[in-house]
Amino acid sequence: QDLIQFGKDANQATLLASAQWLQKDLPIRMGHRVQELQSLPVTMFKTQPVIDLCNLYEESFVRVTEHEVPKTREVEERFSAMLTDIKERHRMVQANIADGFKQMVRNGVPQRFMEHPDIQEKLTKFYTGRIGIRLLIDQHLMLR
């Protein structure tokens, strides 16, 4: 409901407020995604696709935190372009996780281990948080 109301009254001030809020909130959410990946069992966390995924989230974290605060239309436009790029670069997350499972199979990890409820629970939490990040980015970009 809040997202709908926020979008209905969108203007330049709303857009700047949204960008500034995202610049503070997204790094927290991205940091949580990294922690969730790092909490996976070592046999999964240490696969190259999952390491690459952690690096992607860490890089996005740095990009958002180091970006100039969006206080003008021009800076907000650059910030939004960066968000669009981040969203695009993160589109293959499911493939990274799937490749991590494939690497576990190649490494001889038993199937029952990969289906362990702990792994599934942690990945569900990771994916739920990922959806939240994408929703917030989409909401901001739709204000434009």
pLDDT tens for each residue of 53-78:
999 999 999 999 999 999 999 999 99
What's this model's pTM, rounded to 2 decimal places?
Answer: 0.90
Backbone angles phi, psi at 66, to 5 degrees: -90, -10
Which amino acid, residue 7?
A: G
> Is-contact 34 58, C-beta < 8 A?
yes
Give the tens place of pLDDT for each residue, 105-132: 999 999 888 888 899 999 999 999 999 9
Report for 1-10, 103-112, 126-135: range of highest mean pLDDT: 126-135
Q: What letter does residue 130 receive in the DSSP assignment?
A: H
